[in-house]
Structure 1
Amino acid sequence: MPTDQPHALIFDMDGVIVDNTDYQAEAFQLLFREHGLTTNARHLLERLNGMPATAILKTVFHHPVPEKDLKRYADQREFLYRVIYWEKRQEIAGLTDFLRAARQAGFKIALGTGSASETIGYIIDHLHLRSFFDIITGADDVEKGKPHADTFTVVAQKLGIPPERCVVFEDAVLGEQAAYRAGMRCVCLATSVEASKFQSPMKIIKDFTEIEPQDIFTLLEQQPAVPKPDKQRAQRQYMKLS
């Protein structure tokens, strides 16, 4: 399947570059405790992981919360997360070898995450991964986060590669839906949710020791059409999507 036109690999960050969902959940849980909320953060992230933190927080309060307060709570959660995760930061198994091999195979490589620029740097600069990415797109670069298509659509536009030649690596159900809305196919990592929760990934892996860049071409041939987004799958408890 390789041609003179390149393919692109687009990586989410949390749960894909690093296996950090448990630490994210712990930070949310500490914030919830401070506000007297009993929501189970781990279960919440299984449903809403991939969305901006302010959007996730909006779902757990039983009364309207001003945007400025949601932003303040999100900043508090981010601080807690960084303290908890500071000594734990490490790439998911096999990632660097996969990225290096993908570059040698001629793939364009991008990061498409719902995190803001400072949080992106907290991970990829600490792990010395920034040089692998041709494009980095985060929350500051799009109007609507996942499950909307904007994150991945912006990446494809910046790379100059059509969506059908882009493959997304995601760990979240809503991230998978965002990929399909963007007209892209998806490989999913079962780091944050059970494999059975995903809709139609080309492959489900636990880390990057289970896949090689050349496998992408075979997977694309096996799934020639992009799956249609599943609205029911994206309509999770605690949230309302347009």
Structure 2
Amino acid sequence: MEDLNFKPKAIIFDLNGTMIDDMKYHTLAWHSIMNDDLGANLAYETVKKEMYGKNHEVLERVFGKNKFSVAEVEKLSFDKEKRYQEGYFPHLALIDGLDNFLERAKEDNIAMAIGSAAIPFNIDFVVDGLNIRNYLAAIVSADDVLTSKPDPETFLKAAEALGIKPDDCLVFEDAPKGVESALNAGMKCIVLTTTHKVDEFDEYSNILAFIADYHDEKLNSLF
């Protein structure tokens, strides 16, 4: 049941699928790498299910551990991110309504951060490409954590960087593993339905609401 009787002191955004609607382009890039470069012959939907965590974790889930050397993983990761950015750049934009939401949260003195499994190369591509760095007091990337979502490390480090207790933080996410990460961190969550269907989140008790974009009037209760 949706419940927005919560006034957060901090908001932590996942990035991909949450601030920007770009997950299709990550999936397309990995699909190209896995099939065209590595001959895996995987369906798009099969690749889509693996779209969480760090790049080397994605490769390990699909191909098994120790399939690639460190140098090979680095090259595959670089090639994937290059294809992603080339594909997504013409469509680079905040999810509808987020520009006004960021301004409203800033005016309300709500601290904001990004907690993402993306690498800094991609986070900078978005944050600077859309000129939103001034809204963010902290950024936690894949390079800043040892264990990816659903481990809580990403969100706990973001809360620590903001100086806000976890139970005063609100997470915006689009993926079940991200919601699970927020739950493990003791944080409430609002889910963007950009990437996954509502029924994929049935097992999580920390979800306050589902929204399609940041124009949703339910968000007014946060301020």
Fold equivalence (TM over 0.5): yes
Q: How far is 1:59 from its partner?
A: 1.2
User: 1:33-59 CA distances to partner (integer Å, 9 max, x unpaired)?
Assistant: 2211122344433x3433112211111
Partner of 1:238: none
Question: What secondary structure, in the 3-state scheme, does the structure 2 residue paired with 1:209 have?
Answer: coil
Aligned residue runs from structure 1 range 1-242, under 5 A:
7-33=9-35, 34-45=37-48, 47-61=49-63, 64-68=66-70, 69-198=72-201, 199-200=204-205, 201-211=207-217, 213-216=219-222
Label 1:42 to 1:53 Cα distance change in 2 as closer, same or farther (>3 A): farther
Give the whole-Å Cα distance in 1 for the aligned partners of 2:9 and 2:69.
39
User: 1:174-206 CA distances to partner (integer Å, 9 max, x unpaired)?
Assistant: 100110111101000111111111133110111
| TM-score with structure 1 setting the length | 0.82
Give the whole-Å Cα distance in 1 for the aligned partners of 2:27 and 2:193.
16
Q: How far is 1:141 from its partner?
A: 1.3
Q: How far is 1:67 from its partner?
A: 4.6
The letter of the residue matching 1:55 is E
Label 1:104 to 1:58 Cα distance change in 2 as closer, same or farther (>3 A): same
| TM-score with structure 2 setting the length | 0.89
Question: What secondary structure, in the 3-state scheme, does the structure 2 residue paired with 1:168 have?
Answer: strand
Give the whole-Å Cα distance in 1 for the aligned partners of 2:143 and 2:66.
24
- On the 8 A contact 1:48/1:174 being kept in 2, the answer is no
The letter of the residue matching 1:206 is A
- On the 8 A contact 1:49/1:172 being kept in 2, the answer is no
Label 1:51 to 1:2 Cα distance change in 2 as closer, same or farther (>3 A): closer
Label 1:79 to 1:162 Cα distance change in 2 as closer, same or farther (>3 A): same
Q: How far is 1:32 from its partner?
A: 1.2
User: 1:119-162 CA distances to partner (integer Å, 9 max, x unpaired)?
Assistant: 10101100011111111111121111111111100011111111
Q: Which has the higher contact order (CA 8 A, sep 6+)?
A: 2
Unaligned stretches of 5+ residues in structure 1: 218-242
What is the percentage of aligned positions where both structures have the same residue? 29
Q: Which runs of 4+ in 1 moved over 6 A?
A: none
Give the whole-Å Cα distance in 2 for the aligned partners of 1:94 and 1:40.
33
Please identify, of 196-205 and 62-71, the stretch whose mean Cα deviation from structure 2 is larger: 62-71
Question: What secondary structure, in the 3-state scheme, does the structure 2 residue paired with 1:208 have?
Answer: coil
Q: How far is 1:103 from its partner?
A: 1.1
The letter of the residue matching 1:207 is D
Give the whole-Å Cα distance in 2 for the aligned partners of 1:67 and 1:205.
41
The total of aligned residue pairs comes to 214
The letter of the residue matching 1:197 is E
Unaligned stretches of 5+ residues in structure 2: none
Give the whole-Å Cα distance in 2 for the aligned partners of 1:67 and 1:41.
25
Question: What secondary structure, in the 3-state scheme, does the structure 1 residue paired with 2:181 have?
Answer: helix
Give the whole-Å Cα distance in 2 for the aligned partners of 1:98 and 1:142.
28
Give the whole-Å Cα distance in 2 for the aligned partners of 1:36 and 1:50.
21
Please identify, of 208-217 and 11-20, the stretch whose mean Cα deviation from structure 2 is larger: 208-217
Q: How far is 1:9 from its partner?
A: 0.4
Question: What secondary structure, in the 3-state scheme, does the structure 2 residue paired with 1:187 have?
Answer: strand
